[in-house]
């Protein structure tokens, strides 16, 4: 794919694999919207991209707050009239065994809120812009670590385990990917998900107490494949393990589960009410 004059938003691109993806896209001629929580780190990434003759802008937002997710979408719309690629990469890791349950600014289980719900809302808010920029792509950076969502205790209030929380949030991204692909048929916008690489050399992995054994460069290759490969033109609703198309947990292919998650998510982010207010 020719990247010159393409506008690309990458969440969580001030560190780890997101940073490498942002640098590579900037070097390839894309206009990169760099997102992160930390302005200092974000400015450093923008400076790196500009030093390599690329174009980049920084958008600061904490995705554990739905209000800030909405403000991020507003900031994107204010800065560009097109969005060619959205890469939902930001996430919170397991923090290792025994980590205590945390909640988001909105009172939701933190990993579900940041890893899944923020991307659900941000994507929903930016869909009109993506549809106006076709052909456009959405890439959801998930994980091979997946666990079926217990719809009786989505927020894990009864029995908390951070690994389970992480794995169900990542599977949530894949359910969302397949569900959204159905909704976007015929629009010119495609959406795919992937596990980039196992235990990359990232802050998230080190915080979990795991010794990394994959490089962020390997993970970046996989993300860029979904974002830019001509072989994926028009292909949607797929899950990749690295560079290979693969199969996710069985729940991802359960239409009833996907609908349950969609209905819950719309309710949790107040999307239905929000749309009614603007209609």
166: annotated active-site residue: yes
Q: Quick one: three-class SS letters along the chain? A: CCCCCCEEEECCCCCHHHHHHHHHHHHCCCEEEEEECCHHHHHHHHHHHHHCCCEEEEEECCCCCHHHHHHHHHHHHHHCCCCCEEEECCCCCCCCCCCCCCECCCCCEHHHHHHHHHHHHHHHHHHHHHHCCCCEEEEEECCCCCCCCCCCCCCCCCCCCHHHHHHHHHHHHHHHHHHHHHHCCCCCEEEEEEECCCCECCHHHHHCCCCCCECHHHHHHHHHHHHHCHHHCCCCCCEEECCEEECCCHHHHCHHHHHHHHHHHHHHHCHHHHHHHHC
Task: Give me the torsion for CA of 115, 223, 146, 164, rounded to 10°.
Answer: -40
Of the candidates 166, 199, 239, 253, the residue annotated as catalytic is 166
Indicate which residues carry an active-site annotation. 166
């Amino acid at each position: 794919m020719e990247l010159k004059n393409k506008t690309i938003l990458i969440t969580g691109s001030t560190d780890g694999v997101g940073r490498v993806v942002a640098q590579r896209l900037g070097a390839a001629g894309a206009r990169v919207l760099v997102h992160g929580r930390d302005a200092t780190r974000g400015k450093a990434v923008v400076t790196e991209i500009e030093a390599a003759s690329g174009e980049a802008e920084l958008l600061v937002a904490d995705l554990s707050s739905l209000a800030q997710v909405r403000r991020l979408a507003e900031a994107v719309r204010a800065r560009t009239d097109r969005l060619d690629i959205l890469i939902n990469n930001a996430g919170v890791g397991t923090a290792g065994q025994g980590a205590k349950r945390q909640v988001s600014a909105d009172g939701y289980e933190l990993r579900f809120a940041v890893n899944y719900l923020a991307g659900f809302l941000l994507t929903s808010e930016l869909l009109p812009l993506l549809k106006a920029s076709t052909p456009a792509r959405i890439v959801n950076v998930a994980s091979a670590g997946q666990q079926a969502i217990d719809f009786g205790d989505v927020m894990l209030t009864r029995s908390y385990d951070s690994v389970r929380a992480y794995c169900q949030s990542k599977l949530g991204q894949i359910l969302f990917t397949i569900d959204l692909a159905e909704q976007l048929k015929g629009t010119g916008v495609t959406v795919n998900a992937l596990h980039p690489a196992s235990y990359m050399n990232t802050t998230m992995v080190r915080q979990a107490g795991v010794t990394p054994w994959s490089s962020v460069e390997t993970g970046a290759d996989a993300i860029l494949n979904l974002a830019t490969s001509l072989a994926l033109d028009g292909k949607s609703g797929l899950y990749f393990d690295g560079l290979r198309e693969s199969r996710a947990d069985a729940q991802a292919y359960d239409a009833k589960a996907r609908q349950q998650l969609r209905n819950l998510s719309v309710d949790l982010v107040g999307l239905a009410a929000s749309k009614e207010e603007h209609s």
